[in-house]
Structure 1
Amino acid sequence: MANKKGANAVVLFVFMFLINFVVSESDNGRELELLLSFRSSIVHDPSGFLSNWDPSATTFCQWHGITCNNLSHVETLDLSAKNLSGIFVSSSVFNLPFVKTLNLSNNHLYGEIPPDIFFANSSLRYLNLSNNNFSGHIPNGFISGLVILDLSNNMFSGKIPREIGFFSGLKFLDLGGNVLLGKIPISISNITTLKYLTLASNELVGSIPHEIGKMKSLKWIYLGYNNLSGEIPKEIGVLTCLNHLDLVYNNLTGQIPSSIGNLKDLNYLFLYQNKLTGSIPNSIFGLKKLVSLDLSDNSLSGEIPELVAQLRNLEILHLFGNRFSGRIPNALTSLPNLQVLQLWSNRFSGQIPQSLGRYNNLTVVDLSTNNLSGRIPDGLCSSGRLFKLILFSNSLEGEIPRNLSTCTSLQRVRLQNNRLVGELSFTKLPLVYFLDVSNNNLSGNIGEQNWDMPSLEMLSLAGNRFSGKLLPHLLNAPKIEFLDLSGNEFSGTINPRFGTLTELMQLSLSENKLSGEIPEDLSSCKKLVRLDLSHNQLSGQIPSGLADMPVLGHLDLSENRLSGEIPAKLGQIESLVQVNISYNHLTGALPSTGAFLAIKESAVAGNDLCGGDTTSGLPPCKKLKNRANWWPFMACSFAGLLLLVITGFGFLFMRGRNNLEPKRVENGDGSIWELQFFDPKVSKSVTMDDITLSLKESNVISRCKEGVSFKGKSVSNDLQIVVKEMHHVSSLPASFWSEITEFGKLQHPNIVKLIGKCRSDKGAYLVYEYVEGKLLSEILGNLSWERRWKIAIGTAKALRFLHSRCSPSVLVGDMSPERIIIDAKDEPRLQFIFPFVDNQPFLPSSYVAP
């Protein structure tokens, strides 16, 4: 009997094993199918991370990014930060039946996530899709076992689903950086296990739910950069585990609830950029673990109490942009960890506490734009770490403390618009790149001081009483870009070595006592944008070399003793937009081009000039008399020759014009398309087949709401093109295609050229020239001021052409950096978008150029 039972047990075990084996094999096959489906959707894998995902393989546990469990099922799929690109398909890795961790963050993945994702996979514990381009709505449903959900920095839209409250085990939720709308659902308060909540950088509205007080496990709340309104709920005060509260950049009103003072573990409190009123509750100053307090840019008022001394761990205090008044409390001087103190743009009065900095660890002090008086404390740099000192626009008096001149950590100093006296002692600070002491009562012979400021980029001494020669030692500041010495008592000549300051972008020496000629060497300052030498005693002629400054935009030479004629080359500076040469001894004709074309009378008055437009108020120049009487014969001969040339070119033009007329062509699938090009060379080389062959996912170069752009080329001569697929073609007004034709005729070196169009009842495409380069948005953060100016000038030329040279004027709908390409020659090229709002065409004849 016992043997029979044992035999049955063995049979049962073998049977169950075989069933599990068969099921496991079936599941493995399904998993392999899903993984290969995902692999096929990846169109760009620059690092080759997926190179060992072999379609012919029978197992996948050794593939990169995959970890399997004991039964050889996918348990973890981690492809984060691999720079992968592709469009997701619904039956993909989201449906892996045994996966617990799915991390696809920091890639370039597109598409919508499956609507059943939160129903299909009950084993999922970790889901991170952050920093991609996923779109669509966040699906309804829930997974009770999910612990971490990160969908941040995508393009998800719509409302946050109410089912979010059913994720009962969730501890981390980040939906920030999307386009989510509507209110924060009250159901979110049901996730009582949640420790980390981020809904920032969306378009959420309404108030913060009072039910948030139920989420007592929360340690982190970040709801900033939305459109939330109403008051901060006092129930936040019961979240005693909270150490980070960030509600910035909303429209929150009312007073700061005193209940926040109950959050004894709070390290960071950020409420800036709201509409909060009233005073700071005293309870806030009992948060002894507070490291950073930022209440800036609100409408808070009242005085800062001495209770601030209790914040012994405070490192950063930002209260700027409010209506605080009274004195700056002496208690701030006793905070040993205080590093950053920014109280600017308030109504503080009285003296700055004279012991400020002696017992702190200050790195940044900004008390500007208040009503402060008295002397600058001499211990501000006691820490030896102070790098930013901003005290401008107060009523500070006395001399600049001598010990600040030995504060070698300083980098940025702004003391302008005060009542400071004495000499300038900031002359030997190796790290200072920005120094502004303008509009004070400082004096002394600067030229006799030994300057050693190798990092200096910006220096303004304007509006003081400095004297002597023009700072010869400053010529050893090779990085200087902005130099304003105007409104002083400098004398002597302009040193020709100013031309060695090749990084200089703005030079103002106006309102001094300078004499002699303008040195020709200044033309070596190729980055100079603004040159102001007005109100001096300069003589001689205007150097013609000034015309060799490629980005000069503002030139003021008024109220000097300059003589001679104006160099005609000055009228050829394309970047020059403003000129003032008034009240000199200039003679002759005014240039008739460039900035002189419509110059105002006030800019040329007080000279002996002639010519110019009617706006100049100058008399016309005298015409030459007794011309030779043979000019009629020459005119007739030239007219005859011109007639022959026109006839010949007319014949060639008509032949070329036929190539630019719309044509009806048959595509490979039998559909009929209307095809038209606007460039004869393109019409001879690009075909309908070239356009259709470019419409592959591997050729996608951009996606936006207006359509998808593909890179293509002509088979006949490898001419590269961009084909833009148009969305919502049926809703376009009837005038669209004729207006597109008009735009195709426009040519400008700073505009990406539209070279063709094609359409049928199946769709429509626009064909552009291909421009090799980078988007302005990709390089904007690393541009020098010279390149920024060059890009601004080129873009302005494109806009001026569209606004003033086109008839009717063309209105540009989107001027974001994503619409500007910087080509291989470092020139900006504007990508024109054809906006349609309420069926309004893009060529509004009623538009008036600014």
Structure 2
Amino acid sequence: MWERISVVLLLVLNYVLVAKGETDDVDFSTLKSLMSTWKNTPPEWEGTDPCEDWEGIKCRNTRVTSITLASTGLGGQLSGDIGSLSELEILDLSYNKDLTGPLPQSIGDLRKLSTLILVSCSFSGPIPDSIGNMQELLFLSLNSNGFSGVIPTSIGNLSKLYWLDLADNQLEGSIPVSGDGTLGLDNLHHAKHFHLGKNNLSGTIPLRLFSPEMALIHLLLESNKLVGKIPSTLGLVKSLEVVRLDGNSLDGPVPSNINNLTNVRDLYLSNNKLSGSPPDLTGMNALSYLDMSNNSFTPLDFPEWFSTLKSLTTLMMERTQLQGQVPSSLFELVNLQTVVLKDNKINGTLDVGSSYSSRLRLIDLETNSIDNIKQTEVSNVVIILKDNPVCQETNERGTYCSSSQSNFSYSTPPNNCEPGACSSDQISSPNCKCAYPYTGTLAFRSPSFTDLDNKTHYLMLEDSLMRSFKSHFVPVDSVLLSHPRRDSTGYLKLSLQVFPSGLDHFNRTGTLTIGFMLSNQTFKPPQPDFGPYFFLADGYEHFGNYEGLSESNKHSNIGIIIGAAVGGLVLLVLLLLAGVYAFRQKKRAEKAIGQSNPFRRWDTVDSKSDVPQLKEARMFTFEDLKKYTKNFSQVNDIGSGGFGKVYKGTLPDGQRVAIKRAQKESMQGKLEFKAEIELLSRVHHKNLVSLLGFCFDQGEQMLVYEYLQNGSLKDALSGKSGIKLDWIRRLKIALGTARGLAYLHELVNPPIIHRDIKSNNILLDNRLNAKVSDFGLSKSMVDAEKDHVTTQVKGTLGYLDPEYYMSQQLTEKSDVYSFGVLMLELISAKKPLERGKYIVKEVKNAVDKTKGLYGLQEFIDPAMGLSSTTLIGFDKFVNLTLKCVEESGEARPKMSDVVREIENILKSSGANPTEESPSISSSYEEVSRGSSSHPYNSNDTFDLSGESPYPKVDSS
């Protein structure tokens, strides 16, 4: 009886408090004004408190900080009252085609706005100059609207801007740069994205637009009306990865220094009026997509340097006055997929050779002067020689004399099930469930591949999408990709359908989350295959019926409110008394069972206690961690190892954590688990992953670490995370790792030997600072009399110290050896053991100190470039590496010596060893569940009791 009364009183009290309202009065009035000018606002906006009830509205301390209403069907105009939301930080109204009219000048009053996204609406008119007042703006995306007029010079005021996307509008005039007291886009030194394609921009590309201080990675100016020469200053922006200048009226020669852009992956210069000789791009080893078609270059024999572009997938040189014979070495490039050389003067014999790339799919030489072909059939390759002399011979009319290409269509196949019949407006998902999917088009502006028939690309993209949705707790059952095609601008477009989980439709929260993830680029496609993208959503009208409060329920009479308030006060008193009783009972229970808990005194503040006072590593209950991981849900399962599983969790304050949960068979005894936590709790260094806490509750053993979003060094070096590591960044990662190890070896008492240094155990924070992780194999040097620990051999293939393997005597120099292998990995991005070859032995045999870069060009990661002017201090780094991997531990340096040497190398390179890199986000947040490459697992560590994994040591 009393329980029922208490529940009723609590509900009534809650209603009274909500009815009072929590949102700031000015913000509430502003939202009501916006609501009055918009059509189709969410039904929840009938609630009395926007901060509590309104979908798409988020607040902090009663003030509105976020409005995200993507794909909600909004109509009308954006009221000038928007400027009154003085605490607003995020505004996303994307994919609402019925939002029209101009942006109000008052939008510039949003001085705290960091994110403004209005993708694929119907806004028009000029972009207001007041936009330059938003000094906190990081992300500005207004693409796919009808904006006209010029690009405001005031955008140059946005010194923090990271992302600028004004593409696919009707903007005109010149690109603004600074001068005569005004600012321009050249002032945006921190911006990485200039997406200005598909407008009506005219005039020349200003010489002043580019400088070495810029951090640009994407320069997209395609399909405008730009004229004049390509400025030579473009070659100064060495961070560039994608350059699109195609579809303009640019003329004159291409600057010779364009080959300084050694990080450029995609270069589009087609459909201009460029003259002179095609530029020599030797040294652009990252270049995968090159299109210089339809220009006015002078006649030139087929350049030999094409065959040196090791990363090349696509060569497009249609109508470029090329002549002579195509060398067979071109087709040996291992990544080559497509060669289009139509309408040139190429002659002689087409010889594809016997060692052509296994990825080669198309060779189009239509309308040239080829009079012979060496191979009439080349497996899996379409050859087109229509309108060549070889096809005019009556006896030579092979399939290559046709211009037809095989048609290809892709759609995500069913997942081991048979699709059933769905209602007329529902669609069957890949899991054969009928539902209403959220749909739209993914458009990739510069994909680095052209083999659209390769299903691997789409499988990667599907997997990446699902991992991203799961990591953001979006209830997605599956995704379906279909109809891959390239449009006239070279964009790769894919139809996307996202299917709901549990129900046959998404609720509004689901569509808002998906829309925001795709509009603000939270989702990162696999890199470098897909490159920059945008999303165009279709409308979604299947939210289902909402059961709101009736008018009679919304307006209670005064007597009920007063009665409810009195009842609520009585209830509060009862709850307080019950709480005191429960607290006393809890204390008695803790005292009764706590005597057997080895951690019972760790919460005390007695400074005389002989146990660690874990001020930072706190004790969590099992129920705490269960809640933070959504009941250890599958979507939060981000890795596994011999110990058990790793889960991502979110603490109440919003901090993300990685939680290692031991499986029953791998759990330690109480005292051993306590000893490990004691070891971890006494190491605190900025280059070590922090232990935040642990759980020893309900028969569970769990460790809680800080979560680092940029993943492992291994993923960065392999390209899996999409993070670009230049030479200086690699030096700083080596320095950070060395500092962490030096701290363990020389400043912790007693010293600690990590025993498992490898690229998978070096994690990168948001500024790419290196942090050593996974202390599961660490050993403490508790006996000060000895310089080693005799222990069973454990470690990871390829990184293990041979001296430790032979003697079973573990020393600090064992970590130094593993670090030396890691340094070789930083140089080469190669695995230590690959195809039976051991990188230490290979490098030692190849080093020639009389040659530039010590003759190690074949080992250097092409992503860094091979220039001695870029790799300053490379020889010193190699010398240090070779010292670290000496066979004798005594011959290896201490980690503190290593730190000093790397600091000196950085200083000689002009870099500051103490300066941090700017914040950066990875191309993906999670790796595949269960993958051994996850930074918080250790699947590839092992006990060594059998044959050595290392090549036999030559005693000579």
* TM-score, scaled relative to structure 1: 0.43
User: Counting helix residues as a fraction of each chain, which structure ranks higher?
Assistant: 2
Q: Which has the higher contact order (CA 8 A, sep 6+)?
A: 2
Larger radius of gyration: 1
User: Counting strand residues as a fraction of each chain, which structure ranks higher?
Assistant: 1
* TM-score, scaled relative to structure 2: 0.38
